[in-house]
Amino acid sequence: MNTAIASPTNITILQGIHWDTYRNLVRDLESQPGMRLTYDGGILEIMMPLPPHETFKKLLGRFAEVMTEEIGIEIRSLGSTTWTREDLQKGLEPDECYYIQNELAVRGKDAIDLTIDPPPDLAIEVDSTNSSMNRMGIYAALGVPEVWCFDREILTISSLVNDDYQPLEMSLVLPMFSVGVLRSFLELSLTMGETSLICHVRQWVREQLAQS
């Protein structure tokens, strides 16, 4: 019997869900991209993101995109693509994700198989502390090298080391970005329009490149 567990109003948790049921739900909900499904060994969490969540995940993603544009690095942006490993009975949808160092390995591929292909180099998580699931444990199992997490107060950069995440002050995937720099940009978003903020970030990146 499937069991629902009480949780925040934007989150539903179901137990006893078979893998095939989860995969069918992923397909059935493709037309509702706002939903986030997380699966771990029979437990399924369905989350409906709220507006602040969408704002911050988009901003962090745009910071990464501005950086790679200015440096001239090819990336593949895959947003909230569903990443799964049936052999591990795990799956999730990041808020944003990018192939950066491994972009060429998946360029042009419509189907990416994580048992064969590398995982995204960077995943972005906003409000992950509201989740009842161990999403970082799932990312580690899938082998995602770096995750940026922001809970609207604390921002962390975590790097995968020996199957576990270790906090870093500086991104390894996009080395100009430190925790302090990313946090300062997010703080500016509270008083600055998005277009002006992205222009500010772009100018900052250009200044860093000119000094290097």
Residue 52: the pLDDT is 72
- Mean pLDDT over the full length of the chain: 91
Question: Which 3 state secondary structure label does DSSP give 57?
Answer: helix
| Nearest partner of 171 among 124, 139, 131, judged by Cα | 124
**Between vectors from CA 13 to CA 37 and to CA 144, what angle results, nearest 5°?**
40
Give the sign of the dihedral formed by CA 69, CA 199, CA 196, CA 56: positive
The pLDDT of residue 212: 82
pLDDT of amino acid 30:
81
**Burial of 98: CB neighbours in 10 Å, binned 0-12, 13-18, 19+:** buried
If you average pLDDT over residues 151-174, what whole number do you get? 95
Q: What is the mean pLDDT of residues 116-135?
A: 88
DSSP state of 182: H
**pTM of the complete model:** 0.91
Quote the tokens at residue 181.
Answer: 């720099």
What the block records as the tokens of 50 is 């709220």
Pairing label, strands 96-99, 11-15? unpaired
Average pLDDT value for residue range 140-164: 95
Higher pLDDT, 29 or 199: 199
Tokens of 104: 């060429």
User: Tell me, what's the pLDDT at 9?
Assistant: 54
Domain annotation for the chain: domains and CATH numbers: 50-211 (3.90.1570)
Q: What is the pLDDT of residue 193?
A: 96
**pLDDT (0 to 100) of residue 8:** 44
Residues 33, 38, 146: CA angle, nearest 5 degrees: 95
- Condensed to tens digits (0 to 9), the pLDDT of residues 35-82 reads 889 999 999 999 887 777 788 999 999 999 999 999 999 999 999 999
Q: Given this model, what pLDDT does residue 49 score?
A: 76
CA 108 – CA 117 distance, rounded (Å): 13
* The two three-digit tokens of residue 178, written as one number: 């430190």
Alpha carbon distance 160, 89 (integer Å): 20
Q: How far apart are CA 120 and CA 142, in angstroms?
A: 9
| pLDDT of the residue at 125 | 94
* Distance from C-alpha of 14 to C-alpha of 137, rounded to nearest angstrom: 19
Q: pLDDT for 2-39, tens place per residue?
A: 443 334 457 889 999 999 999 999 998 887 767 889 99
Residue 190 banded pLDDT, cuts 50, 70, 90: very high
